């Protein structure tokens, strides 16, 4: 079996197996977005915002000022809206890689030139699924925004770059989820990632990639280079972010290959 045939199979199977969850969760996201825009319109905030401003508000999460209030006044306000956007795609992804190796591994692996083809196909098909999820959700938001504002939403460079960052961050969550499912049950892996996402709200480190999906913590200062300027004055360049993402994916790939070889040897 060639890599392209394997990739087509994985993409088709991912969308087929996740179609119910995809539809239900997208409806939930549409309701969440509708409530968000209705509230912004009710308070008059929406009338003064462009599409990019509205999107930034939607993904604001908690900035350094919000955290300062939390630490000094003990006023805790968890951004459940932002957390939902980070973790709901994982419910669509599920544990496809682990389930597929258990059900079809004995049939597929002997037909592949290398076991790495199996993993790379799963990763690329996963990226396609994540991209489709965010494209659908962005389209829903654009349509709802137009219905409230009455004019076309402007997809400027800031919007596009932010969505690209969010896609990469969601992809890394999903890669981690599928890797963890080789070692622990899906529910346990999901809880670990949710905990990681929640903890990332309160700490500022390159190890917490979720910070890039928090619009409250950064502002673009150079669209061409995608430099991210944190509100406390520190800088984090796109090259660092992409390097972290590459190392993260490589580590997860090696771990997945190890468990795939172990599974194949034991015949489990």
pLDDT of amino acid 227? 46
pLDDT recorded at residue 220: 40
The answer to whether 148 and 41 have CB atoms below 8 angstroms apart is yes
Helix (H, G, I), strand (E, B) or coil at 121: helix
- Ordered mean pLDDT values, 10 residues apiece, the chain (268 residues): 80 90 94 89 78 77 56 65 89 85 71 76 91 94 85 72 86 90 90 88 70 61 42 54 82 82 53
The per-residue pLDDT for 130 is: 94
**How many CA atoms does the CB half-sphere of 224 hold within 13 Å?**
0
Q: Pick the closest to residue 96 from 34, 24, 164, 15 (CA basis).
A: 15
Contacts 24+ apart (CB under 8 A), 115-119: 115/257, 115/260, 115/261, 115/264, 116/253, 116/257, 117/3, 117/6, 118/6, 118/260, 119/253, 119/256, 119/257, 119/260
Sheet holding 235-236, edge to edge: 218-222, 227-230, 235-236
Q: Using CB atoms within 10 A of its CB, is residue 128 exposed (0-12), middle (13-18) or buried (19+)?
A: middle
Handedness of CA 200, 127, 166, 137 (dihedral sign): negative
Token couple for 89: 């795609």
What's the predicted TM-score (pTM) here?
0.82
pLDDT reported for residue 67: 56
Could you tell me the residue ranges of all domains in the chain? Answer: 3-266
The phi, psi pair for 230, rounded to 5°, reads -70, 150
pLDDT at 52: 78
């Amino acid at each position: 079996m060639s890599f392209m045939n394997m990739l087509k199979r994985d993409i088709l199977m991912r969308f087929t197996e996740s179609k119910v969850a995809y539809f239900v969760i997208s409806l939930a996201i549409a309701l969440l977005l509708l409530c968000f825009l209705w509230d912004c319109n009710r308070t008059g905030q929406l009338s003064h915002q462009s599409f990019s401003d509205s999107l930034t508000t939607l993904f604001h999460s908690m900035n350094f000022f919000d955290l300062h209030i939390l630490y000094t006044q003990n006023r805790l306000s968890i951004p459940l809206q932002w957390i939902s956007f980070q973790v709901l795609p994982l419910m669509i992804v599920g544990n496809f890689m682990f389930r597929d190796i258990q059900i079809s591994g004995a049939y597929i692996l002997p037909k592949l030139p290398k076991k790495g083809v199996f993993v790379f196909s799963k990763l690329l098909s996963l990226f396609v699924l994540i991209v489709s999820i965010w494209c659908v959700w962005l389209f829903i938001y654009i349509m709802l925004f137009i219905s409230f504002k009455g004019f076309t939403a402007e997809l400027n460079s800031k919007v596009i770059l932010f969505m690209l960052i969010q896609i990469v961050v969601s992809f890394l969550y999903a890669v981690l989820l599928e890797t963890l499912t080789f070692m622990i049950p899906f529910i346990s892996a999901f809880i670990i990632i949710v905990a990681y996402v929640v903890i990332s709200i309160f700490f500022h480190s390159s190890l917490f990639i979720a910070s890039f999906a928090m619009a409250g913590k950064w502002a673009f200062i150079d669209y061409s280079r995608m430099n991210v300027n944190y509100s406390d004055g520190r800088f984090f360049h796109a090259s660092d972010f992409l390097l972290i993402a590459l190392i993260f994916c490589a580590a997860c790939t090696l771990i997945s290959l190890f468990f795939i070889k172990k599974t194949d040897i034991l015949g489990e």
